[in-house]
Structure 1
Amino acid sequence: MCTPGNYLGRNTTEVTWREIPQIPPALRHRIKCVRGFDRHEEYCPANSSSREGQICLWNLSPDFKTLPRIFLFGHTSSVTSLGKASEKQPYIVSAAENGEMCLWNATNGQCIEHAKLPFTHTAIYYYYRHFRMSGDGWLLCCGEYQDVLVIDARSLQLLHALVSSTTPDWISSMCIVHSQRIQEDSLVGISVTGDLKVWDLSSSVNGVQARENVFEAESKSLQCFNCQAVCFCTYTERLLLVVCSDCWKVFDYCDFSLLCFVNSSHGHQWTGGEVLAANKIIIWTENGHGYIYQLPVRWGQLGKPREKFSSLFKAGIFTSHGYSSSETVSPRLLCYTSNEASSKAILIFINERKEPFHKILFCGEVSGTISMWHIPDVPVAKRDGSPQEIQIAATLSLQGTFEQNKTMTAEITDQLGVLPNGIQAGLITASVYIPNIDNLVCGCENGRIIITLGLHAARTQLLMEHSLLKAWLPHRILVGHSAKVTCLLHPFNKSATFDTSWLVSGDESSNVIWWNMFKGEVLHKFVLHAGPVLNLSVCPEDCSPGIQQSICCLANDNSVALLSLQYRTCLMHARKHLSPVKIIKWRPAEDLLVVGCDDGAAYVWDVETGTLDRHETGDVAKAIIGSCDDASSTFMNVMDSVSLGVRPFDPVKKKNTNYKQSGSFKFSTSPPAFQTTENSKASEKVTEII
Structure 2
Amino acid sequence: MPGTNLIVPVVLWGKNAPSHCVSSVYLSRDQKTLVTGCYDGQICIWQVNPDTLKMTPRCLLVGHTAPVTCLSRASIIQDNNYIVSSSEAGEMCTWDLVDGKCRESVKLTQIHTNIQAYHMCNSEDLRLFCNGYYAEILIMDPFSLEILFCLSSKMNPDWISALHVLRPSSRKDDVVLAISITGTVKVWSLLGHENKQSEPIYENESKQIRCLNALSLNCCAYNQRTVLVVCAKYCQIYDAGDFSVLCSIQAPAGERWMSGDFLATDRVLVWSTEGKGYMYKLPANKPLTGLFVFRSVPDHKGFHGPTVEHDSPVLFSILAHPDNKLLSCPPAMRFVTTSVGGKQRRLLLRGDSAGVVSLWNVDQAATHVHNQLPSHAPIVMTSLDMAWEEMNPSPVGILDQLSHPDEQEIKLTASIYLLAANRLVVGREDGSIVIVNATHTVQLQLLHGGHQQLDDWPPHQLLLGHNGRVNCLLYPHHIHHRYDRSHLVSGGIDFAVCLWDLFSGALLHRFCVHAGEITQLIVPPHNCSTRIQKCICSVASDHSVTLLSLTERKCVTLASRHLFPVVSIKWRPADDFMVVGCSDGTVYVWQMETGHLDRVLHGMIAEEVLSACDETVADDLGGSLAAGAGDLQGLANPAVHFFRGLRHRNLTAMRAATARGLAALSGGHGAGGAGPLAEPARARRAPLTVQGFRSNPTDPESHILFFDIEGLIVELLSEEYSAMSPASLEAAGLITSEYMKVAALTQSASPDAAKRISDFFGRVKDKAGDMERILKEKDKHGILAKMKEGAETMQTKLQAKAEQLKGGSDHKGKC
Asked if TM exceeds 0.5, the reply is yes
Q: 1:50 aligns with which of 34, 38, 45?
A: 38
**Counterpart-to-counterpart distance in 1, 2:4 and 2:85:** 14
Name the residue aligned to 2:334.
Answer: 348
Are residues 447 and 541 of structure 1, via their aligned partners in 2, closer, same or farther at CA, if it must alter by over 3 Å?
Answer: closer
Question: What CA deviation, in whole Å up to 9, does each residue of 1:471-525 have, x standing for no partner?
Answer: x9xxxxxxxxxx98779xxxxxxxxxxxxxxxxxxx9xxxxxxxxxxxxxxxxxx
SS at match of 1:156: coil
Q: State the AA in 1 paired with 2:249.
A: V
Question: What CA deviation, in whole Å up to 9, does each residue of 1:105-133 have, x standing for no partner?
Answer: 1232211101111111101122333x613
- 1:222 shift after superposition: 2.4
Name the residue aligned to 2:384.
Answer: 398
Q: 1:270 aligns with which of 257, 279, 294?
A: 257
Q: 1:200 aligns with which of 166, 189, 201?
A: 189
Q: State the AA in 2 paired with 1:245.
A: A
SS at match of 2:340: coil
Name the residue aligned to 1:177.
Answer: 166
Asked if the contact 2:139–2:149 (Cα under 8 Å) also holds between the matched residues in 1, the reply is yes
**Counterpart-to-counterpart distance in 1, 2:7 and 2:74:** 18
**Counterpart-to-counterpart distance in 2, 1:93 and 1:5:** 27
Name the residue aligned to 1:163.
Answer: 152
- 1:391 shift after superposition: 2.3
**Counterpart-to-counterpart distance in 1, 2:6 and 2:242:** 50
Asked if the contact 1:227–1:242 (Cα under 8 Å) also holds between the matched residues in 2, the reply is yes
Q: Which structure is higher in strand share?
A: 1
Asked if the contact 1:208–1:214 (Cα under 8 Å) also holds between the matched residues in 2, the reply is no
Asked if the contact 1:337–1:389 (Cα under 8 Å) also holds between the matched residues in 2, the reply is yes
Asked if the contact 1:289–1:337 (Cα under 8 Å) also holds between the matched residues in 2, the reply is yes
Question: What CA deviation, in whole Å up to 9, does each residue of 1:618-674 have, x standing for no partner?
Answer: xxx99942358999999xxxxxxxxxxxxxxxxxxxxxxxxxxxxxxxxxxxxxxxx
Gapped runs of 5+ residues in structure 1? 10-16, 300-316, 413-429, 435-439, 462-471, 473-482, 488-506, 508-534, 563-574, 595-620, 635-690
Q: 1:261 aligns with which of 236, 243, 248?
A: 248
Name the residue aligned to 1:682.
Answer: none
Are residues 433 and 169 of structure 1, via their aligned partners in 2, closer, same or farther at CA, if it must alter by over 3 Å?
Answer: farther
Asked if the contact 1:164–1:216 (Cα under 8 Å) also holds between the matched residues in 2, the reply is yes
Moved more, 581-590 or 280-289: 581-590
Q: 1:90 aligns with which of 81, 86, 110?
A: 81
2:216 equivalent to 1:225? no
Output aligned runs, 1:670-689, within 5 Å: none
Output aligned runs, 1:495-514, within 5 Å: none
Q: State the AA in 2 paired with 1:39.
A: D
Question: What CA deviation, in whole Å up to 9, does each residue of 1:3-42 have, x standing for no partner?
Answer: 9999999xxxxxxx78x222853x332222233442355x
Asked if the contact 1:270–1:283 (Cα under 8 Å) also holds between the matched residues in 2, the reply is yes
Name the residue aligned to 2:768.
Answer: none
**Counterpart-to-counterpart distance in 2, 1:335 and 1:4:** 57
Name the residue aligned to 1:626.
Answer: 554
Gapped runs of 5+ residues in structure 2? 287-295, 399-414, 426-435, 448-455, 462-473, 489-499, 512-522, 536-548, 559-575, 577-590, 594-815
Q: 1:29 aligns with which of 20, 26, 47?
A: 20
2:100 equivalent to 1:113? no
Are residues 485 and 366 of structure 1, via their aligned partners in 2, closer, same or farther at CA, if it must alter by over 3 Å?
Answer: closer
SS at match of 1:353: strand
**Counterpart-to-counterpart distance in 2, 1:7 and 1:223:** 57
Are residues 442 and 541 of structure 1, via their aligned partners in 2, closer, same or farther at CA, if it must alter by over 3 Å?
Answer: closer
- 1:210 shift after superposition: 3.1
Asked if the contact 1:147–1:161 (Cα under 8 Å) also holds between the matched residues in 2, the reply is yes
Question: What CA deviation, in whole Å up to 9, does each residue of 1:162-221 have, x standing for no partner?
Answer: 0111001111111211334434321111110112111113x2x33334331111122112
**Counterpart-to-counterpart distance in 2, 1:593 and 1:161:** 54
Asked if the contact 1:258–1:326 (Cα under 8 Å) also holds between the matched residues in 2, the reply is no
- 1:449 shift after superposition: 5.7
Asked if the contact 1:259–1:326 (Cα under 8 Å) also holds between the matched residues in 2, the reply is no
Asked if the contact 1:248–1:263 (Cα under 8 Å) also holds between the matched residues in 2, the reply is yes
Q: 1:188 aligns with which of 174, 177, 194?
A: 177
- 1:66 shift after superposition: 3.0
Are residues 70 and 8 of structure 1, via their aligned partners in 2, closer, same or farther at CA, if it must alter by over 3 Å?
Answer: farther
SS at match of 2:554: helix
**Counterpart-to-counterpart distance in 1, 2:38 and 2:6:** 19
Are residues 152 and 326 of structure 1, via their aligned partners in 2, closer, same or farther at CA, if it must alter by over 3 Å?
Answer: farther
Are residues 36 and 8 of structure 1, via their aligned partners in 2, closer, same or farther at CA, if it must alter by over 3 Å?
Answer: farther
Name the residue aligned to 2:303.
Answer: 324
Name the residue aligned to 1:243.
Answer: 230
Output aligned runs, 1:299-448, within 5 Å: 320=299, 322-326=301-305, 328=307, 329-339=311-321, 340-343=324-327, 344-355=330-341, 357-377=344-364, 379-382=366-369, 384-405=370-391, 407-408=393-394, 410=396, 432=417
Q: State the AA in 2 paired with 1:332.
A: V
Q: State the AA in 1 paired with 2:13.
A: P
- 1:237 shift after superposition: 2.0
Asked if the contact 2:317–2:365 (Cα under 8 Å) also holds between the matched residues in 1, the reply is no
SS at match of 1:357: strand
Asked if the contact 1:7–1:111 (Cα under 8 Å) also holds between the matched residues in 2, the reply is no
Output aligned runs, 1:278-317, within 5 Å: 278-295=265-282
**Counterpart-to-counterpart distance in 2, 1:485 and 1:553:** 23
Asked if the contact 2:223–2:265 (Cα under 8 Å) also holds between the matched residues in 1, the reply is yes
Are residues 178 and 375 of structure 1, via their aligned partners in 2, closer, same or farther at CA, if it must alter by over 3 Å?
Answer: same
Alignment length, in residue pairs? 460
Name the residue aligned to 1:308.
Answer: none
- 1:65 shift after superposition: 2.6
Q: State the AA in 1 paired with 2:56.
A: L
CA RMSD of aligned residues (A): 5.1
SS at match of 1:153: coil
Asked if the contact 1:359–1:377 (Cα under 8 Å) also holds between the matched residues in 2, the reply is no
Asked if the contact 2:534–2:550 (Cα under 8 Å) also holds between the matched residues in 1, the reply is no
- 1:409 shift after superposition: 5.1
Question: What CA deviation, in whole Å up to 9, does each residue of 1:278-299 have, x standing for no partner?
Answer: 3221111111121111235789
SS at match of 2:344: coil
SS at match of 2:393: coil
Asked if the contact 2:14–2:397 (Cα under 8 Å) also holds between the matched residues in 1, the reply is no
**Counterpart-to-counterpart distance in 2, 1:6 and 1:81:** 32
Moved more, 95-104 or 163-172: 95-104
- 1:142 shift after superposition: 0.7
TM superposition score normalised by structure 1:
0.56
Output aligned runs, 1:504-543, within 5 Å: 538=477, 541=480, 543=482
2:119 equivalent to 1:125? no
Are residues 553 and 156 of structure 1, via their aligned partners in 2, closer, same or farther at CA, if it must alter by over 3 Å?
Answer: same
TM superposition score normalised by structure 2:
0.48
The one of the two structures with greater contact order (alpha-carbon pairs below 8 A, sep at least 6) is 2
Q: Which structure is higher in helix share?
A: 2
Q: Aligned residues: percent identity?
A: 25
**Counterpart-to-counterpart distance in 1, 2:166 and 2:89:** 30
Asked if the contact 2:365–2:376 (Cα under 8 Å) also holds between the matched residues in 1, the reply is no
**Counterpart-to-counterpart distance in 1, 2:487 and 2:56:** 46
**Counterpart-to-counterpart distance in 1, 2:271 and 2:216:** 11
Question: What CA deviation, in whole Å up to 9, does each residue of 1:281-321 have, x standing for no partner?
Answer: 1111111121111235789xxxxxxxxxxxxxxxxx99746
